[in-house]
Amino acid sequence: MDQSAEARILKEARHVGTLITPIYMDHAATTPCDPRVVEAMLPFFTKTFGNPGSRNHQFGWDAEAGVDRAREQVAALLGADEKEIIFTSGSTEANNLAIKGAATMYEKAPAGGTGRGHMVTCIIEHKAVLDPCKRLQKEGFDVTFLVPGKDGVVTADSVRQALRPDTILVSIMWANNEIGTINEIPQIGALCHERNILFHTDATQWAGKMPVDVERDNIDLLSMSAHKIYGPKGVGALYVRRRRPRVRLTALVDGGGQERGFRSGTLNVTGIVGLGKACEIAAAEMDRDATRLLALRTRLEQGVSSRLDSCQVNGHPTRRLPHLTNISFGFVEGEGLMMAVKEIACSSGSACTSASLEPSYVLKALDVSDELAHSSLRLSLGKWSTQEQVDFAVERIVGAVKKLREMSPLYDMHKEGIDLSKVEWGNH
């Protein structure tokens, strides 16, 4: 695609790389599709529309060739073999297949015990890992939910202490989706391999942004998703190691036996082609993007913290994804803050449950108070984020926080030097 066509298509996505509001700073939630990805996908809707399962005519072969190429592109990004890539509908399904599939395939009751085996994960994983683990717990497996350090990092040491003779699988995310902290993945993988325990990592926020080598990093199962890396929604992949050890999984979906029986169902050819192209682009551009985004994020954090007191960046100061920051602002009310920064499309530290706004369980695990969690913003930058957008966001955030604090009697007391934690609030 020539540069002008790319620029035109990007401009059509009005909020990408421009100052048209709201400006998009929620790339950890999803990313716009790269025009080069769209271009690669288009022929597979109308021209190369065959079913890759049709083994006896050209339409099927052409579609299969598209899928094969995508499998190579995904495998290349991960340092894997093509046969180790299973296409799924995204990371949620990949996580479910890895966790439930491994647990039921390898279940082992300890001598004299009644359990079906043991799993290790962490309390700040995405729900797409936590909920499959909780379901397994209900079905008779033991699960250890590790608590990360106050910096949000899960260490190999904490995993080591949780391992048991009947541990089947350890599932620890590579980088956290709310705070961007990076766990000790290669070390945890090495530990699991020493003990003959399977190691799964939810790499949804990492793969395609930062380097992966499943051999070097000692990974047996890895989940990734296209829509976090400028590919389409509803498609992803699970890497399943085939050698040393050969990992087997119980399928979640039975049927036509596609994907070597791991995942039946006609393949989402267009989506898979898009995922493949997104991986190819990511492999070529991730270093450059990461360097640029780290500079922009630093500008954002410094812009805010140099002009506002009583704000904190959550998570480890340096072991963090380069494009993501999660900042809590003291003495402002959360909903008011979100309303006041409507021109910036970002996430808050509140999660909507059916009835109410709950403080984020990730921030709570880091001992961030409920009030501070509610008044937190997750800002995540992307490939087309600009310095102009960052400066705009800093202006809006600083302005909003200052304005909200003008209305806060607590902030006045804090400025007068009163230690609010020691104040005894009367019940009048």
Ligand X SMILES: Cc1ncc(COP(=O)(O)O)c(C=O)c1O
Contact between 218 and ligand X by CB under 6 A: the answer reads no
Identify residue 243 by its one-letter amino acid code: R
CB-wise, 90 or 132, nearer to ligand X?
Answer: 90
State the residue number with the nearest CB to ligand X.
Answer: 90
Query: Partners of 328 in the beta sheet?
Result: 312, 376
Contact between 73 and ligand X by CB under 6 A: the answer reads no
Instruction: Give the residue, chosen from 104, 204, 270, 380, that forms a contact with ligand X under the rule CB under 6 A.
Output: 204
Q: Is 352 a catalytic residue?
A: yes
Long-range CB contact pairs, 127-132, < 8 A, 24+: 128/91, 128/92, 128/95, 128/96, 128/202, 129/95, 129/99, 129/171, 129/173, 129/202, 132/95, 132/96, 132/99, 132/100
73-81, 85-93, 149-157, 160-168 -> range binding ligand X (CB under 6 A) = 85-93
CB-wise, 324 or 398, nearer to ligand X?
Answer: 324
40-48, 198-206, 274-282, 393-401 -> range binding ligand X (CB under 6 A) = 198-206
Contact between 320 and ligand X by CB under 6 A: the answer reads no
Contact between 91 and ligand X by CB under 6 A: the answer reads yes
Least Å distance, CB 361 to ligand X, is 13
Contact 170, 198 (CB under 8 A): yes
One character per residue 18-57, x = contact with ligand X (rule: CB under 6 A): ----------------------------------------
Instruction: Give the residue, chosen from 32, 50, 52, 90, that forms a contact with ligand X under the rule CB under 6 A.
Output: 90
Listing DSSP states for 339-351 in one string gives HHTTTEE-EESEE
Cis peptide before 35 (omega within 30 of 0): no
Q: How far apart are CA 209 and CA 277, in angstroms?
A: 14
Least Å distance, CB 109 to ligand X, is 30
Contact 205, 28 (CB under 8 A): yes
Buried b (16+ CB within 10 A) or exposed e, 71-91: bbbbbebbebeeebbbbbbbb
Q: Which of residues 99-128 bind ligand X (CB under 6 A)?
A: 126, 128
Q: How far apart are CA 417 and CA 1, in angstroms?
A: 60
Helix (H, G, I), strand (E, B) or coil at 402: helix
Contact between 201 and ligand X by CB under 6 A: the answer reads no
Contact 225, 236 (CB under 8 A): yes
Least Å distance, CB 178 to ligand X, is 9
Contact between 202 and ligand X by CB under 6 A: the answer reads yes
Number of residues that make up the chain: 428
Contact between 380 and ligand X by CB under 6 A: the answer reads no
Contact between 278 and ligand X by CB under 6 A: the answer reads no
Least Å distance, CB 92 to ligand X, is 3
Q: How far apart are CA 213 and CA 185, in angstroms?
A: 11
Contact between 236 and ligand X by CB under 6 A: the answer reads yes
Helix (H, G, I), strand (E, B) or coil at 320: strand
Angle at 26 between CA 20 and CA 28, to 5 degrees: 150
- Residue 260 DSSP symbol: G
Contact between 326 and ligand X by CB under 6 A: the answer reads no
Instruction: Give the residue, chosen from 31, 48, 73, 92, that forms a contact with ligand X under the rule CB under 6 A.
Output: 92
Instruction: Give the residue, chosen from 96, 167, 171, 177, that forms a contact with ligand X under the rule CB under 6 A.
Output: 177
Least Å distance, CB 130 to ligand X, is 10
Query: Residue 99, Cα to own-chain centre: how many angstroms?
Result: 17
Contact between 225 and ligand X by CB under 6 A: the answer reads yes
Contact 364, 370 (CB under 8 A): yes
202-210, 299-307, 327-335, 371-379 -> range binding ligand X (CB under 6 A) = 202-210
Instruction: Give the residue, chosen from 205, 270, 360, 380, that forms a contact with ligand X under the rule CB under 6 A.
Output: 205
76-84, 88-96, 248-256, 327-335 -> range binding ligand X (CB under 6 A) = 88-96
Interface positions with ligand X (CB under 6 A): 90-92, 126, 128, 173, 177, 202, 204-205, 225, 236
Give catalytic residues, as residue numbers.
Answer: 352
